[in-house]
Chains A and B, each alone.
Chain A
């Protein structure tokens, strides 16, 4: 064990991420054996991988977004419902008011960003606990979406329809283009987190806000920016969600909170703040996505996935707590 940890390559990538990659591969093998044995149909083929990837895109953007918030020591439980709110508002604009597709996608991003500004302002400047703010926002997002759409679900155009071009962002001629967008966004997020003033400040203030403030840094501003970043990414996540699943129903979206947070925390971002890893988040998202695809392939219900994600969150956070206790 120690030997592996000291290996220079492992050290560079991070032991935690190596373990996660191992988990991902083992899970794939596990499903590849279990699914044919129990259901008679195959799992190892390309179709299930693509299925998992479809899930990974929107979840990945959510997870990237919440990584910024968790890095500050905060939390955002509104991301899933906000994504649905973005989808419902932009979809309603498209179908009822014939707003051009491109503008609708921008509306999604704008709505997400507005929620980010709202959450961030309350947390940073009014010092309302993030837990409370995001719980309230979650319900507000559901409410606003329902009022706006008069509690109708909306459907986005299919790829062969007019306006269907946006689906090329998810998949074009069988090529998973969404993967490029997601990984590209992840690289940009990693650079932002590790190489910019914003990233440096939010991670440091997640570790010790008062010390950063007493160094003459405007901590309120930067903390708010973390929530705005999260909102922006939630808005982008919407594009990949509707590009994959077509229909958005009002009143839902909660389950994606847990999955996005699970992906992020599993990847080594500490719930206590001050520690964040984008590469970890990416692998975490892939694990959650593969899990969901595998469970569907086993013909189990979504409920089983909720239970397993719940357990993953607990284990990941507990591991983080233990790691911190050891360090102290």
Chain B
């Protein structure tokens, strides 16, 4: 490890209602891979957004290459050699690899773009990374793993000196992860500073030199990876919270009726011939890597996107679902992974959101019965323990966990019996997460049936009665909770279906 390239000290950042960063510190040296760890909502991404100028810090200092620094936007950060390789890839599918890498700063020859130079330069970058990708190929033709490599090539093309990898392995197969590590080691040997954000404990031990742990927006500590055990890191990450053990056996009786049956569902590339059954009172986990087609499956069932073929049975009866309207009528509720975009109307009140799916029940003749609306909303605020000063509060002012409760309330007010929870705890802090889990268990015990899509293995193992695993748009396995292990699920989630 070389000299210190980045020193973030006492960084503080608040959003309305959330103390997102509470005096967090981070030190990265040249020639080091530094892991940044923490549960979802611990503040890792926020810290990185402060570093790259997306958020403005409230207080604290950032010293980069020995100078006091504050970037105002990602462009400025890039120009100074600080780049992020995002978890979600930011590539334009219809452009070539070379066009993507040099987008916004194409080499010119007079007025024209110098394609030849662009392709040459791309080749130089790929050589430096020892990877074999044709710069003239279209981005959409590449696998997710290769696309990620292009992101990295793009990152180092900015003369990067500090690269941030934000959960780079989330969507990669074992083999691709190995390739990625070769590249990261290469970059380390070239004396770059590397911040590596990941949830996967095994990777941390393999690839990183030091690890900084965050929890609930606070700084917990920094360790040398070689000197600590997995358990040390887990303990620092979870702190006061007891790490819940996986569910030991299914809570669903063998003779529970099937409430939802999906047969040979096809919807585009991401949903191919998916079939499964959901029983009354069951929590059915949907596991898989990013881009496995789980959300697409849920949206096709719910009628949010068009499907090509497939039959859906609700309580044994075959139903036509062509729009969310049809699905809601059949008692299906969908909680999106992207709450702010698809779940709630943030600019409106809790009341307006709670009765959104069922306004017709709260009418007196032509007019909305606002008293009745308020009553039911307040009943669910109490029941779900939503933290808010009043039912008139705009949803935008609530924290992530409480926003999620408003979405849940919407479907409970509708009295939906089949609930699809898509990443129910994404972006929610640890305490609220436990409340959501409790709530889901309670709902299941009351006879509601739940499909839970989750990318967090611990969540899948802790909540599910049965687990469906998907990979690249196909169902690759179905595992009973009694037999489920992390390894087994991971194996199915990364396996291609054979012919």
Contact = CB atoms under 8 A, between A and B. Distances in A.
Interface of A: 191, 195-197, 200-201, 203-204, 207-208, 210-218, 274-275, 327
Contacts of B356: 204, 211-212, 215, 217
- In terms of DSSP, what is the predominant structure of the interface of chain B? helix
B345 A274 contact: yes
Contacts of A217: 324-325, 356-357
Given A211-B342, A211-B343, A216 B348 contact: no
B347 A274 contact: yes
16 contacts: A196-B367, A203-B348, A204-B345, A207-B346, A207-B347, A208-B346, A211-B341, A211-B356, A213-B304, A214-B342, A216-B324, A216-B329, A216-B357, A217-B357, A274-B347, A274-B348
Contacts of A201: 359
Interface string B338-378: 00011111111000100011011001001110100000000
* 9 shortest interchain CB distances as A-B pairs: A216-B328, A215-B356, A215-B357, A208-B345, A207-B347, A195-B367, A207-B345, A216-B325, A204-B345
B336 interface: yes
B341 A210 contact: yes
Contacts of A215: 324, 328, 356-357, 410
- For B323, B342, B347, B359, the residue with the greatest tally of chain A CB atoms inside 10 Å of its CB is B347
Nearest to A195: B367
A315 to B, nearest CB: 22
B341 A208 contact: yes
Contacts of B328: 215-216
A320 to B, nearest CB: 13
B125 interface: no
B64 interface: no
A216 B327 contact: yes
A197 B363 contact: yes
A268 to B, nearest CB: 14
Nearest to B370: A195
Given A204-B345, A216-B324, A216-B329, 14 more contacts: A195-B367, A195-B370, A196-B366, A197-B359, A207-B345, A208-B345, A208-B346, A210-B341, A211-B344, A212-B345, A213-B304, A213-B324, A215-B410, A217-B357
Contact of B368 (A197, A204, A216): A197
Contacts of B368: 195-197, 200
A214 B356 CA distance: 10
B136 to A, nearest CB: 35
A296 B336 CA distance: 56
B411 to A, nearest CB: 9
A319 B343 CA distance: 28
B350 to A, nearest CB: 13
B432 interface: no
Contact of A211 (B325, B345, B360, B363): B345
- In terms of DSSP, what is the predominant structure of the interface of chain A? helix
A204 B302 contact: no
A197 B302 contact: no
A34 B356 CA distance: 52
Interface of B: 302, 304, 323-325, 327-329, 334, 336, 341-348, 352, 356-357, 359-360, 363, 366-368, 370, 396, 410, 414
Contacts of A213: 304, 324
A214 B302 contact: yes
A327 B396 contact: yes
A191 B324 CA distance: 28
Contacts of A275: 347
A299 B491 CA distance: 83
A218 B325 CA distance: 7
A214 B334 contact: yes
B376 to A, nearest CB: 15
- For B323, B348, B414, the residue with the greatest tally of chain A CB atoms inside 10 Å of its CB is B348
Nearest to A208: B345
A216 B333 CA distance: 9
A195 B372 CA distance: 13
A210 B347 contact: no
A214 B336 contact: yes
A71 to B, nearest CB: 12
B307 to A, nearest CB: 16
A258 B325 CA distance: 37
Nearest to B346: A208
A220 to B, nearest CB: 9
A204 B352 contact: yes
Contacts of A195: 367-368, 370
Nearest to A197: B359
Contacts of A327: 396
Contacts of A196: 366-368
Nearest to A204: B345
Nearest to A328: B396
A200 B368 CA distance: 9
A218 B328 CA distance: 11
Nearest to B330: A216
Contacts of B363: 197
A195 B324 CA distance: 24
Contacts of B396: 327
Contacts of A200: 352, 359, 368
A217 B414 CA distance: 13
- For A197, A212, A214, A217, the residue with the greatest tally of chain B CB atoms inside 10 Å of its CB is A214
A206 to B, nearest CB: 9
A270 to B, nearest CB: 9
A218 B303 CA distance: 12
A212 B410 CA distance: 11
B359 to A, nearest CB: 5
Contacts of B323: 218
Given A196-B368, A204-B345, A274-B347, A214 B325 contact: no
B97 to A, nearest CB: 32
A272 to B, nearest CB: 9
Nearest to B344: A211
A208 to B, nearest CB: 4
Contacts of A204: 345, 348, 352, 356
Nearest to B357: A215
Contacts of A203: 348
Nearest to B360: A197
- For A203, A216, A275, the residue with the greatest tally of chain B CB atoms inside 10 Å of its CB is A216
B344 A208 contact: yes
A209 to B, nearest CB: 9
A197 B362 CA distance: 10
Contacts of B346: 207-208
A217 B304 CA distance: 11
Contacts of A191: 367
Contacts of B302: 214
B24 to A, nearest CB: 24
B79 to A, nearest CB: 25
B403 to A, nearest CB: 11
B419 to A, nearest CB: 13
B202 to A, nearest CB: 37
Nearest to A192: B366
- For B302, B346, B363, the residue with the greatest tally of chain A CB atoms inside 10 Å of its CB is B346
A204 to B, nearest CB: 5
A91 to B, nearest CB: 35
Nearest to A199: B368
A321 to B, nearest CB: 15
- For B343, B356, B363, the residue with the greatest tally of chain A CB atoms inside 10 Å of its CB is B356
A141 B367 CA distance: 35
